[in-house]
């Protein structure tokens, strides 16, 4: 799908994210790090994510959380305000229970890097999607994920990363290497 918003750096992830709802056996549980008016409604949109039963969205800014909640009146959304560092809360979750983890958190590059490094250490099975992946420090932080597909259709890149073997991507491709 060609989203006009692809030219908006804040929305450039929608193109790739809109293609992932049916991946593997269908994305059922989403963990979103960094709530917003783009990704949160997309995960709740049954046209793109028809199998979703729960979106757990972690947000550090309570005022922003109220805005996103108002925009997304949906019982499947669990929007949780958590002070940074986010990893302290992530330690309480079973990350493998999420089919997809979307990383778009924080107002701070350094904190985002810590989150990416943490996920690299602990994730085993989830598909992890990183926004803003054109930044080399984010790429370096994600080294523990051996498999990546990097979407460069927008200057603001988005990457899918995972461990383990090949996955079916849009039912067409079987990938187990870095594709750029
Ligand atoms: C990159 S944004 C997350 C965007 C979200 N994933 C989306 O696609 O809509 C990262 C953080 O910036 C903050 N943020 C984003 N837009 C904001 C705004 N308009 N006002 C205040 N904070 C904002 C929020 O704390 C958010 O978690």
Rounded (5°) CA angle 25-27-28: 105
pLDDT number for residue 169: 62
Nearest protein Cα to ligand 1, atom 9? 36
Residue 166: per-residue pLDDT? 75
CA 34 to centroid of ligand 1, rounded, Å: 6
What pLDDT does residue 65 have? Answer: 98
Distance in angstroms (rounded) separating the CA atoms of residues 160 and 146: 11
Distance 138 CA to ligand 1 centre (A): 18
pLDDT at 9: 79
Residue located nearest, by CA, to atom 25 of ligand 1: 61
For the CA of 42, the closest atom of ligand 1 is: 8
Residue-wise pLDDT for 41-66, tens only, equals 999 999 999 999 999 999 999 999 99
pLDDT score recorded for residue 174: 46
Strands (E), 118-164: 127-131, 147-151, 158-162
The residue behind tokens 């090949």 is: 166
Give the Å distance between the CA of 36 and the centre of ligand 1: 5
Question: Burial level of 131, CB count in 10 A (0-12/13-18/19+)?
Answer: buried
Nearest CA to ligand 1 atom 15: 36
What is the atom index within ligand 1 of the atom nearest the CA of 39? 8
Residue 111 in contact with residue 105, Cβ under 8 Å? yes
**What is the four-CA torsion angle of 96, 102, 105, 109, rounded to 10 degrees?**
100
User: pTM above the 0.85 mark?
Assistant: yes
Q: From the CA of 166, how far away is ligand 1's center (Å)?
A: 32
Residues lower than pLDDT 50 in the chain:
1-2, 171-180
> Is the bond preceding 131 in cis, omega lying within 30 degrees of 0?
no
């Amino acid at each position: 799908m060609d989203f006009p918003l692809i030219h908006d750096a804040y929305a450039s992830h929608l193109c790739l994210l809109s293609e992932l709802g049916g991946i593997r056996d269908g994305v059922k549980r989403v963990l979103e790090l960094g709530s917003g008016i783009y990704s949160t409604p997309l995960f709740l949109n049954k046209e793109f994510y028809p199998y979703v039963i729960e979106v757990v969205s972690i947000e550090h800014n309570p005022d922003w959380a109220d805005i996103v909640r108002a925009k997304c009146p949906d019982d499947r959304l669990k929007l949780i305000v958590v002070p940074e560092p986010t990893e302290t809360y992530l330690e309480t979750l079973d990350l493998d229970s999420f089919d997809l983890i979307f990383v778009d958190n924080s107002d701070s590059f350094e904190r985002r890097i810590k989150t990416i490094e943490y996920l690299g250490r602990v994730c085993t099975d989830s598909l992890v999607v990183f926004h803003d992946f054109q930044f080399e420090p984010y790429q370096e932080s994600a080294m523990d994920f051996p498999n990546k597909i990097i979407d460069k259709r927008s200057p603001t890149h988005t990457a899918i990363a995972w461990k383990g073997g090949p996955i079916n991507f849009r039912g067409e491709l079987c990938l187990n290497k870095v594709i750029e």
